[in-house]
Amino acid sequence: MNATACDSAVPALRKRKRAKHLLLGVITSSLALFLALLGAELGLRVFAPQEVAVVRRGLFTPDDTFGYRRAPNLNVQINTGERDVWLVTDEKGHRVAKNAPASDNDAVRVLAVGDSFVEALSVEYERTFSALIEAALRRELNRSVKVVNAGVGAWEPSHYLLEARRELADSNYDLVLVCLYLGNDLKPTRSGYFRPAPNNARDSFFRIPRRLAAEEFRQSLADPLKSVLEQYSHLYVLARNVRYTHFELVDSRKVVQDYARSGRGASPFDIAADVCADLAKMAGAIPVVFAVIPDHLETFGETYSDAPESDKLSRPMLEALEKRGLRTVDLTPALVRAEKQGPSVFGRIDRHFSPRGHEIAAAVITPVVLERLHAREQERPTAVPSHAP
């Protein structure tokens, strides 16, 4: 081999050597990281076990109008990260108590619609604000009361209208309670129909992405991975709890920011309020109360960062509802005060209401519901007694 050939071979050998060292470094670092994570996982399980989630399959069923509903006739134990909870549903998929009493035809009936804050899977049914409102009304009215919990996780105002229409057509109610959670109930559009979801679509199974889109990869890969980690990794649960910030850009805030940048169409507040107005109109003489639940940023704002007025979603939402003549109740002041005093109104891992949060919500909503029930009773025509000739 001549000198020229040797000189040309040296750079190639150096490149291969560098590549080999780089590959070896990547493998060594990856192995070290894996062993460190494994050691941390095992250490947590022994010395500081976390509350991991226990999720069952088949908790949802596809629906031709709603896209999906809570499956009917469930009787299973689940854990969303806070505690073991029994999930029991009736023939309509509404959440009920594990040992629910027989229905009373003479009971005062209240329909509560909303999303996961109403369904409240992080606490036992008896500790949900709908059950607490039912108990409070029973004491105040001194008669049988039934608050029907028709909440389903990830529903939105368009779902609430559809559910109220279906329930009011099937059963008699004395009042409708609509709960708007401002973390994800502000949408850029409304809908009168939701495409049926595949069976168990919301149970987070791994699957091959059907198209090259971020949302598709999230649904097919990221969400199932998150579900697995929440159920089996104590380290993931701890890391999520530590890194959790009360100021994440949640769904509604992104929608509001997108509207502010574009300036096109109706505002998300007006869209939600219009749906609520249609619901109240559809209910006719049945009173409807709209409870506004603030998102985490607004609830924690005064406690941790003195959030500016522009960060408060509850005020424009309340103004949009009241502009349409709707009866509202704002949970924000009471929740902010309670959060400042402690303990937290939200769960440590599952970021829905803690038992204290449900107690605060029930305490704020019950007087308004009671006032509307009394007003409706007074508005009913009094029967004129007949006199015998």
Helix 332-341 with 355-379: angle, nearest 10 deg? 150
Q: Which of 329-338 are b and which e, b meaning 16 or more Cβ less than 10 Å from the residue's Cβ? A: bbbbebbbeb
What confidence score (pLDDT) does residue 3 get?
55
What is the C-alpha separation between 202 and 58, in angstroms, rounded? 9
Outline where DSSP puts E strands in the chain. Answer: 60-63, 67-70, 75-78, 85-89, 95-96, 108-113, 145-149, 175-181, 288-293, 327-330
Domain boundaries of the chain, sorted by first residue: 107-190+197-377
What is the C-alpha separation between 97 and 379, in angstroms, rounded? 33
**How many C-alpha atoms does 292 have within 13 Å on its Cβ side?**
27
**In a 10 Å sphere around its CB, with 0-12 CB exposed, 13-18 middle and 19+ buried, how is residue 84 labelled?**
exposed
Token reading at 39: 């050691």
Residue indicated by tokens 């679509």: 201
What is the C-alpha separation between 113 and 166, in angstroms, rounded? 12
What confidence score (pLDDT) does residue 243 get?
54
227-236: long-range pairs with CB below 8 Å, 24+ = 227/53, 227/55, 230/52, 230/53, 230/55, 230/81, 231/52, 231/53, 231/54, 231/55, 232/52, 233/41, 233/52, 234/41, 234/44, 234/45, 234/48, 234/49, 234/50, 234/52, 235/37, 235/40, 235/41, 235/44
CATH number of 107-190+197-377: 3.40.50.1110
Residue 87 contacts residue 76 (beta carbons within 8 Å): yes
pLDDT tens string, the chain, 389 residues long: the values are 555 555 556 677 777 778 888 888 889 999 999 999 889 888 878 887 766 666 667 888 999 999 999 999 999 998 888 889 999 999 999 999 998 877 788 899 999 999 999 999 999 999 999 999 999 999 999 999 999 999 999 899 999 999 999 999 999 999 999 999 999 999 999 999 998 875 444 455 677 888 888 877 777 888 788 777 877 787 877 776 655 544 444 577 778 877 777 777 889 999 999 999 999 999 999 999 999 999 887 887 644 444 455 557 899 999 999 999 999 999 999 999 999 998 999 988 788 999 999 999 999 999 999 999 999 888 766 544 444 44
pTM for this prediction: 0.80
